[in-house]
Chains A and B, each alone.
Chain A
Amino acid sequence: MHIPMLTLRIKYRRGHAVRFISHLDVARALRRALNRSGISLAYTQGFSPRPKIGMGIPLAVGHLSDTEYADITVAEPIAPQRFAERLNEVLPEGLRVLWAGKVPPGAASVSASITEIQYQASVPWSVISDGERNKDELERALETFRRVDQLIIERERKGKTQRFDLKQQVPMLELAYGADAVEVTMRIAVRQSGFPKPEEVLRALFSLEDGQIKGASIIRTDVGFSSTSRKGKGEGGTRYES
């Protein structure tokens, strides 16, 4: 019997209750929730078959997100809406499917389709003024960032140095001043070669130490899909917003 394969893309929330678990932990939790849901999954061929689940761009431990994506190939016909409902019945607290849609055959993987990630970082004034900075200084720092042609940051990892030009890879950066915290909105361009972390942008912008940045709360608020490639599109729209 031939079972038609159907790939569904879900957009899900990673909330407070699961913010300290890793990307791999989320993948595992999703797989086990799918098993509990009883929805029949499609598996890879070969010596050790795995369910066909494609995860989106990894989210760092500690971050929250309203805009995570995963592609799941199922081995039974099911309407996206019903799929989302059944998954939500069994997902652990903190994980919640917000939207589901069909992915056309031959489409690029969800991780390859994401070109931009928007973050909202909330940096408490207590952290900012720790470094004896005020609003004016932050504005000047932002002004400088807008004016320069290049702002290179370096990341050391396993003896290798990776460089990112923030002018190239941070197409949007805005500050808003709340009573308790400075709200930083940034869009980061995703490249094959890698991309800067929101913490690295904050560090470069505000000259903060790593320990201080850990006091910031960081939320992924939006994700941009490639608009030129037809591959990234689901049914009925260029972006996977419901």
Chain B
Amino acid sequence: MKELHNIIETTLPLVSKPARYIGNEVNSVHKDWDNVETKVLLAFPDIYEIGMSHVGLRILYHVLNSEPQILCERVFAPWTDFDQEMRQRGIPLFSLESWRPARDFDIVGFSLQYEIGYSNVLNMLDLAGIPLSNADRTESSPLVIAGGPCAFNPEPMARFFEAFVIGDGEYAVLEVASVYRSWKRRGATRRDLWRDLAKLDGVYVPELYEARYDSAGKFQSLESRDSTAPSVIKKRTVADLDAAPYPTAPIVPFIDIVHDRLAVEIMRGCPGSCRFCQATTIYSPARERSVEKIQELIRAGLESTGYEEISLTSLSSTDHGCIGEIIKWVRDTFDGQHLSLSLPSLRFDSFSADLARMIAMEKRTGLTFAPEAGTERLRNAVNKRISDEEMLRVIRTLFDAGWKAVKLYFMVGLPTETHEDLEGVARLATSMARLGRKTAGHKTRINVAVSAFIPKPHTPYQWEKMPEEDELRQKYELLRAGLRAKQITFSWRDTALAKLEATFARGDRRLGEVILNAWQAGARFDAWSSEMRFDIWREAWAMSEIPFDFCSIPPPSHGDPLPWQHIDTGVTVNYLLEEREETYSGCAHSNVDAENKIS
């Protein structure tokens, strides 16, 4: 222990941003290792600044450390320079709090927030000296598990995680820890542990299932190989957010992280039902925290952290039934204390002039909206119902209230998209820029950020084809040409990265081999343009024996089984099919057609 401390100490001065690895932040929890029975390590497969910005990680840290017999520490992916030094000097992956090797913990739980982080999971396990594949772990290895949105299609990572927690983790993690504890006391086999875990609600243990493929190599079915393994795993849902634990003394990082503020989750789930959106189904139903509870969390959180900014987080914060009341309370209660307030993910249709004026507290940082599509026709088709007029009205209100910058997210390649829809993006952004220039002057900014539509499991579009890269690039080019106004900045997400994400999102078990090959060839930090090497992934794909990619799933009429169909979100396939149908039928009666018929 002492020796490892010394090596880490002398290595940190050699790497960039050593503060990522030191821990000791205000409100971090340091328990006595020898007096706690179960040690859990929360692992995030990206750098500290990103991992610490996730509310979920902070919730689980709080939940686990609230238990006297459990100790919970954190680890993030070491950046490439430190990774290299660690390998050279034999430093194993270690926790922030106690600088103990990850392999000394009982349970290592990964948070899977985006598919592109998969190579980092393998890299962290390797740095930890933990066998990568479930099959290679022994009784002395930590139990390696995962949770988060990517667990809703666990198959691509099935060979690396012994268990997946599907859905809300607050209570499930404690159950997993408890099962582990009694298994360890009993001294039973690894397989016994898996069988015990499989009995828990919302816990999927992939080793207890076998995937079958037909002669052409298409996924056929997932067969249970054990009596304890249920054929369907229902996601966990915390019914009452007020009763659910939430950190009152969140960690205050020393370094500037992506979201460096007091995050108070005011709602989980989204009342909207945009058809491309996976969060809608996996976090359903929408549940609100009460105003009283939110007030309590804000008071306690500010007092324990000293943060100067509050973020009222959710998938769509303006949809909280009492959002006006909450904002007014914050403004009145902390008047003169120079707090700023941010609301991520705003919806045009629930955003009022009142709200605009109320969040105009001290700092007016930009606001973000996601119209997603350029025309009302396409927005209706994907069920994001908002008119151009309504959006322009909101934008005018914002500029009037003093905002200078608005960020707009759009998706390219959505089902039924036409040339006209792309022109609509440019038209909309240009009208907003013009409006801004007139009402708020030349300093206004409209930031247009575009990404590719990626079909995700458990959505009505889970059968859609992922647009080809060439097609996407052409469309980006078209948009860029249309967004020439001085006030507009245009950014887009890499098409090859989108393609990879699409592949991971709908892949089956065999993808594990591709991920393993790519990691062995040097893939890591794939979400970082400076580190991503597409050649590695192309080669890893070519080496594998999977006969097709996962970007074109056959349409639902084929009735083909889907690799994630054993995961039950509570939304039926029939509902998804109906929603998908609405997209196309809506398209047949487009506004143009209707007008032609009338005249």
Q: Is B363 an interface residue (CB 8 A)?
A: yes
In the complex the two chains form, is B26's CB within 8 Å of A32's CB? yes
CB closest chain-B residue, reference A61: B18
CB closest chain-A residue, reference B337: A35
Question: Contact check: which of B14, B18, B307 meets A35 at CB < 8 Å?
Answer: B307
Q: How far is the CB of A53 from chain B (nearest CB, A)?
A: 12
If the complex has contacts A20-B18, A48-B362, are A36 and B255 also in contact, measured as CB distance less than 8 A?
no
Contacting residues of chain A (1-52) with chain B, CB-CB under 8 angstroms: 17-18, 20-22, 24-25, 28-29, 31-36, 43, 48-49, 51
Q: Is A139 an interface residue (CB 8 A)?
A: no
In the complex the two chains form, is A32's CB within 8 Å of B13's CB? no
Contacting residues of chain A (204-229) with chain B, CB-CB under 8 angstroms: 211, 214-215
CB closest chain-A residue, reference B25: A92
In the complex the two chains form, is A29's CB within 8 Å of B10's CB? no
CB closest chain-B residue, reference A90: B306
How far, in angstroms, from A90 to B27 measured CA to CA in the complex? 11
In the complex the two chains form, is B306's CB within 8 Å of A34's CB? yes
Question: Contact check: which of B14, B22, B26 meets A211 at CB < 8 Å?
Answer: B14
In the complex the two chains form, is B254's CB within 8 Å of A214's CB? no
In the complex the two chains form, is A35's CB within 8 Å of B13's CB? no
In the complex the two chains form, is A28's CB within 8 Å of B256's CB? yes
Contacting residues of chain A (111-135) with chain B, CB-CB under 8 angstroms: none
Q: Is B19 an interface residue (CB 8 A)?
A: yes
CB closest chain-B residue, reference A26: B254
Interface bin, chain A: 20 to 34
In the complex the two chains form, is A49's CB within 8 Å of B362's CB? yes
How far, in angstroms, from A24 to B26 measured CA to CA in the complex? 16
Q: How far is the CB of A148 from chain B (nearest CB, A)?
A: 31
Q: Is B12 an interface residue (CB 8 A)?
A: yes
How far, in angstroms, from A49 to B338 measured CA to CA in the complex? 7
Question: Contact check: which of A22, A51, A211 meets B19 at CB < 8 Å?
Answer: A22
Q: How far is the CB of B594 from chain A (nearest CB, A)?
A: 48
B368: A residues at CB distance < 8 A: none
If the complex has contacts A36-B306, A62-B13, are A92 and B255 also in contact, measured as CB distance less than 8 A?
no
How far, in angstroms, from A215 to B13 measured CA to CA in the complex? 8
CB closest chain-A residue, reference B302: A35
How far, in angstroms, from A29 to B306 measured CA to CA in the complex? 9
In the complex the two chains form, is A24's CB within 8 Å of B308's CB? no
Q: Is B252 an interface residue (CB 8 A)?
A: yes
In the complex the two chains form, is A35's CB within 8 Å of B24's CB? no
If the complex has contacts A20-B22, A21-B254, A32-B26, are A214 and B308 also in contact, measured as CB distance less than 8 A?
no
CB closest chain-B residue, reference A62: B13
If the complex has contacts A43-B338, A48-B363, are A32 and B252 also in contact, measured as CB distance less than 8 A?
yes
How far, in angstroms, from A24 to B256 measured CA to CA in the complex? 9
CB closest chain-B residue, reference A75: B336
In the complex the two chains form, is A25's CB within 8 Å of B19's CB? yes
In the complex the two chains form, is B10's CB within 8 Å of A94's CB? no
How far, in angstroms, from A62 to B10 measured CA to CA in the complex? 11
How far, in angstroms, from A20 to B20 measured CA to CA in the complex? 9
Q: How far is the CB of B48 from chain A (nearest CB, A)?
A: 12
Q: Is A93 an interface residue (CB 8 A)?
A: yes
Q: How far is the CB of A93 from chain B (nearest CB, A)?
A: 6
Q: How far is the CB of A21 from chain B (nearest CB, A)?
A: 4
Q: Is B139 an interface residue (CB 8 A)?
A: no
Question: Contact check: which of A24, A32, A92, A211 meets B24 at CB < 8 Å?
Answer: A92
Q: A20-B12, A49-B362, A62-B13 are in contact. List 6 more A-B contacts (CB 8 A).
A: A20-B21, A22-B255, A29-B26, A33-B306, A36-B305, A49-B338
Binding site for A on B (CB under 8 A): 10, 12-14, 18-19, 21-22, 24-26, 252, 254-256, 302-308, 338, 362-363
Enumerate 6 A-B pairs (CB-CB under 8 Å) in ascending A order: A20-B13, A25-B254, A29-B254, A32-B252, A32-B306, A48-B363
Which 7 pairs, one residue from A and one from B, show the smallest C-beta to C-beta distance?
A35-B306, A32-B306, A36-B306, A20-B18, A21-B254, A25-B254, A21-B19
